[in-house]
């Protein structure tokens, strides 16, 4: 039986990306105002404490979404690790692109993503091990948020789904 209580929190970020494998316009460098919604459920509400009669405090959920999504990605560029030509453009002047990329790759392998401003224009860059489609970003942010949701709710709430809007008309969801 599905849990009867559900909450949704949304944040919005601005970020650039490109889908290097896309057959059309999304190959080009472009940006989105991403809308990201996290949906959490609980079988029962908290019975005491500061989250009394809540699934999970919206403020706690926002704080975790900011940490997992806004801090690494807002006003930055999200790049696929496989996009070697794009990463070469971000390589700081005078540095060996392969060496610089290898360090990022090691961090991506270890942590699932790498965020840096050690880039050519000192712009924020987040490297991910997939094409930054709305589907993959939804899955990536779901994986980052699932445990913080459990912990901040004292085990009462479960992350059900993350929905990512790329435009007001296009969204992808990942849920478990």
Ligand X SMILES: Nc1nc2c(c(=O)[nH]1)N=C([C@H](O)[C@H](O)COP(=O)(O)OP(=O)(O)OP(=O)(O)O)CN2
Q: Which residues contribute to the site for ligand X (CB under 6 A)?
A: 19, 26, 133-135, 166-170, 172
In the complex, minimum distance from the CB of residue 10 to ligand X, in angstroms, rounded to a whole number? 17
Instruction: Give me the helices (H) in the chain, please.
Output: 58-65, 71-73, 84-90, 97-111, 134-152
Q: Is 93 or 169 the residue whose CB approaches ligand X more closely?
A: 169
Distance CA 64, CA 33 (A): 19
Instruction: State the CB neighbour count (10 A cutoff) for residue 120.
Output: 15
Q: Is 114 or 138 the residue whose CB approaches ligand X more closely?
A: 138
Q: Is 60 or 141 the residue whose CB approaches ligand X more closely?
A: 141
In the complex, minimum distance from the CB of residue 137 to ligand X, in angstroms, rounded to a whole number? 8
In the complex, minimum distance from the CB of residue 87 to ligand X, in angstroms, rounded to a whole number? 19
Q: Is 157 or 164 the residue whose CB approaches ligand X more closely?
A: 164
Distance CA 166, CA 176 (A): 21
Q: Which two tokens stand for residue 166?
A: 């790329």
In the complex, minimum distance from the CB of residue 19 to ligand X, in angstroms, rounded to a whole number? 6
CA distances from 37 to 46, 94, 104, 158, 166 (A): 22, 41, 28, 14, 12
């Amino acid at each position: 039986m599905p849990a009867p209580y559900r909450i949704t929190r949304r944040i919005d970020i601005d970020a650039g990306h490109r889908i290097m494998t896309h057959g059309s316009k999304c190959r080009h460098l472009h940006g989105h105002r991403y809308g990201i919604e996290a949906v959490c459920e609980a079988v029962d509400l908290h019975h005491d404490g500061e989250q009394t009669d809540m699934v999970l405090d919206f403020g706690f959920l926002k704080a975790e979404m900011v940490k997992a999504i806004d801090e690494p990605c807002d006003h930055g560029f999200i790049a696929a690790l496989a996009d070697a030509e794009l990463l070469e453009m971000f390589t700081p002047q005078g540095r060996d692109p392969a060496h610089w990329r290898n360090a990022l790759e090691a961090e991506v392998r270890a942590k699932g993503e790498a965020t840096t401003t050690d880039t050519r224009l000192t712009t924020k860059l987040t490297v991910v091990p997939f094409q930054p489609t709305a589907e993959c970003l939804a899955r990536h942010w779901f994986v980052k948020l699932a445990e913080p949701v459990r912990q901040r709710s004292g085990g009462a709430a479960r992350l059900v789904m993350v929905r990512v809007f790329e435009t007001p008309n296009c969204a992808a969801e990942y849920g478990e």
